[in-house]
């Protein structure tokens, strides 16, 4: 098995997450699928697949399918979880979904791992709070009212 010798860039992480989504839907991916998913040219997708193949994260055969290696799938799942954590957090604080999708992308590549862990813990605490549903629900309502009052005062 190949060993990852270089750190993943934010762009490489985006490709892995996109590839993970495609493979999850179809069982495999082709360059045109990846290019379409990420809104890039097929030549750019091909170059990144070659790089990820060298890193041991994907199996890429020119003119063939692309699949994630077990290590690639593990990394892609972690990237996807991190991305979804930020989307969920932003929606908790009432950021509209379209903006949350864009901003989650920025946050996932810019914050320290410990900060990301605390975001994940906070989101889980808010969403899975069984013994405090009244408090959490009330907190959300109060925050929503506060935001509406602030918006009305502008």
16 and 76 Cβ atoms separated by less than 8 Å: yes
Distances (CA, A) of 3 to 50, 57, 69: 14, 9, 12
Per-residue pLDDT at 2 exceeds 50: no
* Domains parsed from the chain with CATH numbers: 10-75 (1.10.10.10), 80-152 (1.10.60.10)
Distances (CA, A) of 116 to 30, 86, 89: 32, 9, 11
Span 52-77, pLDDT tens digits: 999 999 999 888 889 999 999 999 99
Mean pLDDT of 102-122: 89
Q: Helices marked H in the chain — which ranges?
A: 10-26, 31-38, 42-54, 70-92, 97-110, 113-127, 133-152
- Residue 7 DSSP label: P
Distances (CA, A) of 50 to 32, 40, 44: 14, 15, 10
Mean pLDDT of 99-105: 92
Per-residue pLDDT at 131 exceeds 70: no
Per-residue pLDDT at 141 exceeds 70: yes
| pLDDT confidence band for 126 (50 / 70 / 90) | confident
Q: In terms of Cα–Cα distance, which of 86, 87, 77 is closest to 117?
A: 86
Per-residue pLDDT at 1 exceeds 60: no
Instruction: Tell me the whole-structure pTM to 2 decimals.
Output: 0.80
């Amino acid at each position: 098995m190949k060993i990852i010798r270089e750190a993943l860039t934010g762009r490489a992480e985006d490709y892995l997450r996109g590839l993970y989504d495609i493979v999850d839907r179809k069982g495999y991916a082709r360059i045109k699928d990846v290019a379409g998913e990420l809104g890039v040219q097929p030549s750019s997708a091909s170059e990144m697949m070659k790089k990820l193949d060298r890193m041991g994260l994907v199996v890429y055969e020119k003119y063939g399918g692309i699949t994630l290696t077990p290590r690639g799938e593990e990394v892609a799942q972690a990237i996807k979880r991190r991305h979804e954590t930020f989307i969920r957090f932003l929606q908790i604080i009432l950021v509209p979904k379209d903006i949350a999708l864009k901003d989650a992308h920025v946050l996932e590549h810019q914050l320290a791992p410990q900060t990301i862990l605390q975001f994940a813990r906070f989101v889980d605490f808010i969403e899975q709070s069984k013994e405090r549903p009244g408090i959490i629900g009330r907190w959300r309502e109060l925050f929503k009212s506060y935001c509406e009052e602030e918006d009305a005062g502008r």
